[in-house]
Structure 1
Amino acid sequence: MQHSITGMRRGFLLMLLFVFLMSFFSFHVQAGTVLEPPQATVSGTVTDTSGNPLAGVNLVVESKNIGTISDFDGSFSINAGPTDVLIFSMVGFKSLTVPIAGREEVFVQLEEDVTVLGEVVLNAGYYSVSERERTGNIATIKADVMEKQPVANPLGAMQGHLSGVNIVQSTGVPGGGFSIEVRGQNFINGVTDPLYIVDGVPYGSQSLGSEDISRDIVNSDISPLNAINPNDIESIEVLKDADATAIYGSRGANGVVLITTKKGRAGKTRFDAHLSTSLGQVSHFMDLMDTQQYLVVRREGVSNDGLDGFLGVPAYDFYWPDITLWDQNRYTDWQRELIGGTAYRNNAQLSVSGGSERTQFLVSGAFLKETTVFPGDANYKRANVHSNINHRSDNDRFRLNLSTSYSQEDNLLPRSDLSFQAYTLAPNAPALFDEDGNLNWENNTWDNPLAALEEKFGVKTSTVLANALISYELVKDLEVRASMGYTDYSLDSYRTLPSSARNPRFNFTPQSYSSLTTNSSKRNSWIIEPQLQWKKDWKKLSMDVLLGTTFQQETTEQLVMRGTGFPNNSLIFNLTAADRVEVRNSADSDYKYNAVFGRVNLKLLDRYILNLTGRRDGSSRFGPGKQFGNFGAVGLAWIFSEEALLSDSSVLSFGKLRGSYGTTGSDNIGDYQFLDTYTVTGSDYDGVAILSPSGIFNPLFGWEVNKKLEAGLELGFFRDRVFVNASWYRNRSSNQLVGVPLAATTGFSELTGNFDATVENSGIELDFRSANLSTETFKWSTTFNISVPKSKLVRYDGLETSTFANRYVIGEPLSIVKLYRSLGVDPETGQYVIEDYNGDGNISSSGDLEWIEDLAPKFYGGLGNTLNWGNMTFDVFLQFKKQKGYNTLRDNTVPGFRRNAGVELYHDRWREPGDMNTYQVASSGLIAGSNNGDLQRRSSAAVSDASFIRVRNISLNYRVPHLENGLDVNVYLQGQNLWTFTKYKGPDPEQTLNNRLPPLRQLTLGLKVGF
């Protein structure tokens, strides 16, 4: 018994010992899984396969709530253990998992991932949408493309890159403007400007210049968009169809251009400097007559007009000094003399950026100075300051983004564009300066073109743009936010006409001639847009609902004054010294706008998408009962590549059908148009200014309406290495707001009202991109776009009896011109023959202007290729356009006039009966009715093919490798408008007005340094 008890005790003790040992062992085993090995700082660099550093790469320690972001030079550091695993991810690149394996330094290369449609986020204005899931048509251009182009205006960087967007540069003078059409001209009143939104704030694109100053000015179109520095832009999106634009209601009829500026990125504080210098020259000179050719046709013209007997008579030398008084052997290439100089553009920019994961900042400043190709010291200067602060709270519920920019422009140019004189001055015209260095008037026998340098045209503008976006997540999936913006745009311009700028033969004195015209204008606006957004994801269905309202007010002021009769030209800038001061225009306006908008987006099974947008607009530009309009759209998309039948396809990686239909509108008619309006005129009655009636009360007109229909197909092949986006659209604009001219006896120039007129714009757009080759050392990618637009006036009740009968034709585009039909040169008489269309024996505009030419492009687009080889990147972009335009006959049709012209007027002129030539017999132009030159200028002969292929941009960039201390250095060489291949004989096929300087060929050398 005792032995058994002793055995039990022994067993109990052994069991306690076993439990203790197991507990001890278990404790150490568990401690091994809980206690981590000592942490260390792991650092390294992230690059792409070409060795270029990647900034903004997200990296986290697997299975731990630890993460960071790579800096601008690709470097990173993070606390992790030797057995941890790092996960690297970034949009556009494949995610990579890397074990630390005891290393202190980790160097990682990320491979580009071309299948990122779901990660590429597009700015749709009030919301963001991935390229994969968008139902609307949104064209975009990113900073990396814009930075390769040496342009001062954002529109210049967009030329040729976006389908459906036709942009034409109006002049090669610095600070000049651009015309833009998104899918054609929708309205008869000719307003084609889209709505510009900069960081959520509407931005006015219309200049506040005055016709009293800008008439015949070298650069009358001062574009407000010049205030935006292209280097500060992150991306530009153009919204085109109803699904994308209807949420903007009445403001989206002509499309919407969304400009998003750059923001700071998380990482260490970084400094970036950007320096560049550009040389610009006229790319093409016309082939004009030399002195001997010119004098031959001049004398021939005088002889043909029977004026030989007056040659050498002093009283008549005023009419032909070029063949009687001037040196008959002198030759000056006036194109090289007047527009053959070199324009210099120097640009400097410095930015500071950085911040934590929660707060990022960016501050940049830039200065640009650009001269002209004209003689003299005319120049354009611009200074920009841009800042952005982005913050989010620790719980990610509160977000704040503040963006501000300020720009100041100073444009000092000669009053006149010397291009017209360069093309038309007699080649034996006198020297510009006499022996004493003064302007040479050659005994008052000519108007010295450099006299225009005595006349000054100056414009100073300042622009302030500010935006604040605040959001807060009330509960899960429900967010409230507010966007608030303010803009202030002021313009001060002047124009001087001193007596010294006129030929002394007129005996002008400062008291009798000198004048100063000034324009002081200002436009400011504010906008507040509270919004509420709810998002909900279920297993198979997701919903995104947005509701918001807009409050906007804009005020405009303008005062134009003119002073004449100054004691001397040195006092011409002092209005108080003028003998007479008059108010040419004094106006102010107030525009108020209010709207409610909403969006509902439904997505089923990640492949069936429905997008509903709507807006109710209210505008102060319409009378009572007409102030509100309703607009909306529906967009559908089917991602058919997600269907089971195609989901495993090795060829088709993405396929989507989309379509949309909806309405937008327009109130772009100016303020107070429905009221009786009065204008301060330049006249006075006994010293009292006069108010003249300028508008008739008409409260009945309402919104223009643009109905948009679209269908699209998007296809991706071979993991989206080849991607095609094809679109067909048809826009119909009705209820047109038209200013109908009135008879002068009514006392008014026109009456604004709605008319039963419908304009249709339709077309096909194709966008293509491909990753042709991608290896560790070499990459080659291609982009291509083409647009084939069509337009026609579908209906206009009573057109035949209206004042527009000679401008528009049912079934034809609004861009047509009605011309006489030229039948060439009569081989017997040598005169131009114009078809007598109505057979009444007379050639007149009332019945013979029946030849129709359409000056809108038939198709246009661009082709780009990018080659990456190690640290070298080479880009080339071609722009093309099929179109017709006015040729040189628009200005010169008759050889023998006192103006130079194309050499073809010498070689191909009629001389004797039986000749079959293109140009008529020479004439001096002094005998009325001696030729049909004026009719020929307005005939079918004055329009010809102006198609072209232009090397819009070439860029070569080299990144200096392996620099110490994280220094990032890039050197680049860029060329703009380098070559143009065309049969067009004028200065430029895209800008066919010979009285304006064409776009310049530019060569830019630049340096970027970051550290």
Structure 2
Amino acid sequence: MRSKFKWIFALLLAFSMQFSFAQEKTITGTITDGGLPMPMVNVVNKNTKVGVQSDFDGNYAIKAKTGDVLEFSFVGYSNVLITVAAATKVNVPMKSDAQQLGEVVVTSQGIKKEKKALGYAVTTIKAEEFAAKPSTDVVRALTGKAPGVNIQQTSGLSGSGTNIIIRGYSSITGSNQPLFVVDGIPFNADTNSDGNFLEGATNASSRFLDLDPNNIESISILKGLAATTLYGSAGSKGVVLVTTKSGNTKELNKKMEISVAQSMFMTEISDLPDFQNNYGVGNDNEYRTTFGNWGPSFATRGEGGIGMDGTVDHPYAYYGAGVFPEYLNADGTPKKVAWRPYDNVSPFFTTGTVSTTSVNIGGRAEGTNYNLGVGHTDDTGFIENNNYRRLNLNTGGSTKLGNGFTLSTVMNYVRTDKTAPLTGYGYGSGSVTPSTFATILYTPRNLDLFGLPYEDPNTHESVMYRRDITNPRWLLKNGSDEEAVRRFYGNFTAMYDINSWSNVSYRLALDNYTQSKRYYINKGGNESRDGYMRTTFNENTIFDHTFSYNFNANLDKDQSWTLDGTVGLNSRMEGYDYTYLESYNQFVYGFNEHQNYEEHLGYSDHQNQNIVGLYGSATLGFKKYLFLNVQGRNDWFSSLQKENRSLFYPSASLSFIPSDAFEFMKGSKAVNYLKMRLSYGSSAGFPPPYQTIIGLESATTQFVTPSGETVNYIAPSSRVGNLDLKPELYKELEFGLETKLWNNRIGIDLSLYDKTSTDLIIVRDVDPASGATDRYDNISEMSNKGIELGLSFALFRSDSDGFTWDLSGQFTSNRNRVERLGDGVERFAYAGFTNLGNFAVPGRPLGVIMGSSIMRDGNGNYVVGSDGNYLVNNELTEIGDPNADWRSTVINQISYKNVTFGFQLEYQQGGDIYSNTANALLSRGVTEDTNWDRSRTYVLPGVNVDGNINQIQIGATQYGFNNSGFFIDEQSVFDATNLRLREISLSYDVPKRILEKTPFGRMSISIIGQNLWYKAFNFPEHLNFDPEVMSLGVGNGQGFDYLTGPTAKRYGFNINLTF
């Protein structure tokens, strides 16, 4: 009986245990990262396929049975698997996954998305690729690191401007610079030049120079229109999203971390020409006081104006006894100097220094993140009177409140001061406006520039052996281009979590800066004989308000279908105030205040425009391998008439990942990842304010009263308003492919795009009888087609000894074409001069260079005149195309244990440049390229006017000077194909075992060089010319070098410490 009872009891116990295992219960807990709660974490019961998300406090609740497996996942974090046991409360700590974090990118309006869900191209560049580099300009540090992004400096002077163009030029007269957004703040990155390129526009700094590269966490570049739709027309030329350390809202793992970066770099002129030292000043082998270097050889004695003792008259003797009596004999005859060459160029250039110090303090405390930073840069250029100083102060933080609110803020203050020499347009025979570099390089070899005075001791006027040329040493001492900027930008953001899958946020952003400039030259120079001074003050302000509703939801219980998106309202006010005062005729030399000048001319301007945008975006996902995104934005602009103010631009994109969709591809070692994407985007470019009406402006002096007083008056502008002016329209179709092959050792990222621009605005002439000269009109069309290819190779990996070898490459090619300009418009000059500049011509790429050329016969032969020189065709002819055929970059990195060696090579194929540097050096005969036998005669290839082969002999001066680019524009155009070593570096990370007993958590030392070597294959060998200059300044003009400043090379070291 007792035995039977035991069996019954055991049976009942087993049944009850089986029932308890099968019974469903509610599992609850808190999900954290570093002790802080994590909202919106996906929690899925893998047995029932039911999923939930954690709330804003990190809490979750899900039904499960004992033995079920719960999976916790969040983008950028390692998945966590937990088997349900008896406990009903399960707290889950999660850890970030570095590999997954690399797949999360920042997109429009600061929205973070998985990269695989994007149907358009985004390039993300990490801090280590641009921080602590020799360049103090963060954009220049990005050169060659993003396909489809063309970055070019105006010159190598410290503080000079930088041009950045994404996927070609989309507008003819409008800006083609991208929008910069810093921590959600629309950031004014304009290059405010007071004068045109004749007056040194290349000196103007681009305002993204205010950013401290050492305070930047990452940069994302949105290139296509589908990627930038949510920013409206402001993002139509691409968007550069900058996330700083102060604006980074990710939760930190330490209570406090202090990082210090100190760098010291040297800066030098990139190279100098190889000068010939066999011939001196003169013409036709005769010593003359010209500025050409076609005189006798330095071995000449007793002929060509050279004495038997190898001397010539002192070049300053002609100033007379009243100025330089020391150069005259007692009888008033000139003293003699040796007929020999001097090094009269290299002493102008020095070795400058670039010192940068950055300190950053970050941490967390009780749900609050904070960051404080300070940076100081002192950048002295490679020539006297060139310096750039910057002070950056920044702070930011975020905190989670217990009521579902998250508050964050970022504040930045920047102070910059810059001085630069005057760098006006130089054309090979001096300059129109003061230009330091206009005469330095082609100074005759026999002129001892640094052994002779540069100013009249009595009047302080410039002196040189030619009175009509300003001594460049005098110009360095008596002229300056100065700039001071004071800037504040920041934001405040409040976000409220409605539930675990949606929130609302409001962001207020402000960017305000004032810019003061002073440009002056004392009296006594040849280009501004009586002195000149100009001061300007401008204030730029952007107020930006954004309200958005954001959601991320699962549409079914197994989370196969997901939907995330945002709906927002954006309002932006842009204000611009400008005052200008220029003064002429200096009274007292050396005193540069406006009251020390006789005549004055003032000007002021005030502009305001308001933009309101309503936008929305939604992404539908299926099983994490298929994503459809639709976006749209409607902008209302105050700068146009009412009927043209509103414009809607939609976009759509599709992302498909076959490697996740098909079972046969999962786990493949050959194809680890494959993604295909397709997108369509649209946007617009709105014209600047006040172009739809006739404005009023100050006219020149028109009347003189009987008492002799001048009377000014206000007159209508010469440009008539266009009431029907509309925004430019842009559309783009993009296809892309991304893949990882052979155990992720090979990566490919390919993009193909086709972008069209219609209703483009150009300036069109109007009937003079109307009282005006021209107006803006929507009459042109243009297209861009291109390919962007990114490659990566993990050539070698060894976990045993820590040896790695990585190679990456980029290829970019863009084909631009002006489709039409408008009825009756054959060409349109938009940059440079009307007889030598960049033109828009139907059927040709934007910016072709047009100027004078050598006359040709019907068979294309050069035509030579009766004097043996080429005949000039002064009708405008296309003489060059500044657009490169393609560009490529190779980045190599080899690491062994704690040592890393890397370099970056860049190659440009094609792209012409009109070079006055080459023209001046060659036509003046000062480089080794012209060191040929000048005693013989030469015959130019070509035919005579009668069609016979030319046989007319000419001398060396005619051959080298008369037929140069000095007289024929075509002769100054060169193919700018070049290869350069953009960067080379060697770094050492101190092992942690060495740092264990120190306060430092990390220490690294790097040696870096930038632009240390280059080769322009199609320029004369001994010019050593670097074509990476833009003498027309930042903007749409390209392919011109007007002696406005050479490039620079930089090298040095930096130390990074963390504790």
The answer to whether TM tops 0.5 is yes
What is aligned with 1:455? 479
Instruction: Measure, in 1, the Cα distance between the counterparts of 2:285 and 2:968.
Output: 20
Q: Which residue of 1 aligns with 2:1037?
A: none
Q: Give yes or no for contact 1:655–1:715 (8 Å, CA) kept in 2.
A: yes
* CA distance in structure 2 between the aligned counterparts of 1:326 and 1:604, rounded to whole angstroms: 90
1:374 matched to 2:383? The reply is yes
Aligned match of 2:88: none
C-alpha deviations, 1:407-456, integer Å up to 9, x for none?
A: 11111222245333222211222434658997883577463211112112
Aligned match for 1:863, one of 874, 879, 890: 890
CA 892–945 in structure 1, closer or farther in 2 if over 3 Å, else same: closer
Give 1:294 deviation, angstroms. 5.0
Name the SS of the counterpart of 1:641 in structure 2.
Answer: helix
* 8 Å contact from structure 1 (residues 148, 955) kept in 2: no
1:204 partnered with 2:235: no
Partner SS for 1:701: coil
* 1:587 counterpart SS class: strand
TM superposition shift of 1:501: 4.8
Matches within 5 A, 1:315-464: 327=337, 329-339=339-349, 341-356=350-365, 358-375=367-384, 377-394=385-402, 397-416=404-423, 418-432=436-450, 434=452, 441=463, 445=467, 447-452=470-475, 453-464=477-488
- Report the Cα offset of residue 754 of structure 1: 0.7
User: 1:466 Cα shift?
Assistant: 0.7
Counterpart Cα distance in 1 of 2:501 and 2:789: 37
The 8 Å contact of residues 330 and 428 in structure 1, kept in 2 or not, is answered as yes
How far off its partner does 1:597 sit?
A: 0.6
Q: Match for residue 960 of structure 1?
A: 990
Residue 708 of structure 1: aligned partner = 732
Q: How far apart, CA to CA, are the structure 2 residues paired with 1:802 and 1:811? A: 11
1:441·1:448 contact (CA, 8 Å) conserved in 2?
yes
Partners of 1:773 and 1:96 in 2: how far apart? Answer: 31
Q: Which residue of 2 aligns with 1:495?
A: 519
Q: Mean alpha-carbon deviation: is it higher for 239-248 or for 170-179? A: 239-248
Distance 2:935 2:451 in 1: 38
Match of residue 675 from structure 2: 656
**Separation (CA, whole Å) in 1 of partners of 2:211 and 2:382:** 24
Whether contact under 8 Å (1:783, 1:863) holds in the other structure is yes
Match of 2:745 among 689, 710, 721: 721
Q: Deviations over 1:604-651 (max 9, x none)?
A: 121111111100011112112111111111101111111223123221
What is the deviation of 1:774? 2.5
Structure 2 portions without partners, runs of 5+:
14-33, 35-40, 42-70, 83-93, 297-302, 307-311, 328-333, 424-434, 704-708, 943-949, 1030-1039
Contact 1:305–1:923 (8 Å) recurs in 2:
yes
Are 1:456 and 1:495, in contact at CA under 8 Å, matched by a contact in 2?
A: yes
Distance across 2 between alignment mates of 1:858 and 1:246: 29
* Correspondence list, 1:970-981, <5 A: 970-981=1004-1015
Query: Is residue 2:277 matched to residue 1:290?
Result: yes
Structure-1 residue corresponding to 2:45: none
Equivalent residue number for residue 929 of structure 2: 904
Change (3 A) 1:644 1:769: same
Q: What is the CA–CA distance in structure 2 between the aligned matches of 1:443 and 1:231, rounded to whole Å? A: 49
**Structure 1: how far apart are the matches of 2:1049 and 2:953?**
35
| Amino acid in structure 1 at the alignment position of 2:1056 | K
- Aligned-partner Cα distance in 2 for 1:974–1:91: 35
Residues 1:996 and 1:113: Cα distance change in structure 2 (over 3 Å): same
CA apart distance, 1:713: 1.0
Query: 1:230-629, aligned counterparts within 5 Å?
Result: 230-263=213-246, 265-290=252-277, 292=279, 294-295=281-282, 299=286, 327=337, 329-339=339-349, 341-356=350-365, 358-375=367-384, 377-394=385-402, 397-416=404-423, 418-432=436-450, 434=452, 441=463, 445=467, 447-452=470-475, 453-501=477-525, 513-537=530-554, 538=556, 539-573=559-593, 575-583=594-602, 585-629=603-647
Corresponding residue for residue 784 of structure 1: 809
1:874–1:955 Cα contact (<8 Å) kept: yes
Residue correspondence of structure 1 range 817-856 to structure 2 within 5 A: 817-822=849-854, 831-834=868-871, 843-845=873-875, 849-851=876-878, 853-856=880-883
Show CA shifts across 1:861-889 (max 9, x none): 21112222222222211122112323657
Q: Render the CA deviation track for 1:942-979: whole Å, top value 9, x for unaligned.
A: 33322122111112221223222441322211111111
**What's the offset of the Cα at 1:785?**
0.8
Contact 1:118 1:133 in 2 (8 A): no
| SS of residue matched to 1:132 | helix
Amino acid in the other structure paired with 2:538: S
State how 1:96-107 maps to structure 2 within 5 Å. none
Query: Of 146, 149, 171, which residue of structure 2 is paired with 1:162?
Result: 146
What amino acid maps onto 1:815 in structure 2?
Answer: G
Alignment-derived partner of residue 784 in structure 2: 761
SS in structure 2 opposite 1:226?
helix
Q: TM-score, normalised by structure 2?
A: 0.77
AA aligned to 1:406 is: Y
CA RMSD of aligned residues (A): 4.3
Distance 1:172 1:280 in 2: 9
Native 8 Å contact 2:490 2:509 kept in 1: yes
Q: Are positions 1:693 and 2:716 aligned together?
A: yes
- Match in the other structure for 1:54: none
Residue segments in structure 1 that go unaligned for 5+ positions in a row:
1-7, 9-14, 23-42, 44-57, 59-86, 99-109, 836-842
| 1:147 and 2:131 aligned | yes
Deviations 1:245-290 (A, max 9, x none): 2222212221111111114734132222211111011122123333
Q: CA deviation at 1:515?
A: 3.5
Counterpart in the other structure of 1:988: 1026
Q: Distance in 1 between matches of 2:886 and 2:809?
A: 13
CA contact (8 A) 1:200 1:485 kept: yes
Structure 1 counterpart of 2:161, one-letter code: G
Change over 3 Å in CA distance of 1:578–1:880 after alignment to 2: same
What CA distance in whole angstroms lies between the structure 2 residues aligned with 1:811 and 1:709? 21
Aligned residues of 1:398 and 1:473 also touching (Cα < 8 A): yes
Task: Give secondary structure in 2 for the equivalent of 1:176.
Answer: coil
CA contact (8 A) 2:935 2:956 kept: no
Supply the distance in 1 between the matched residues of 2:473 and 2:193 (Cα, whole angstroms). 25
Number of the residue aligned with 2:57: none
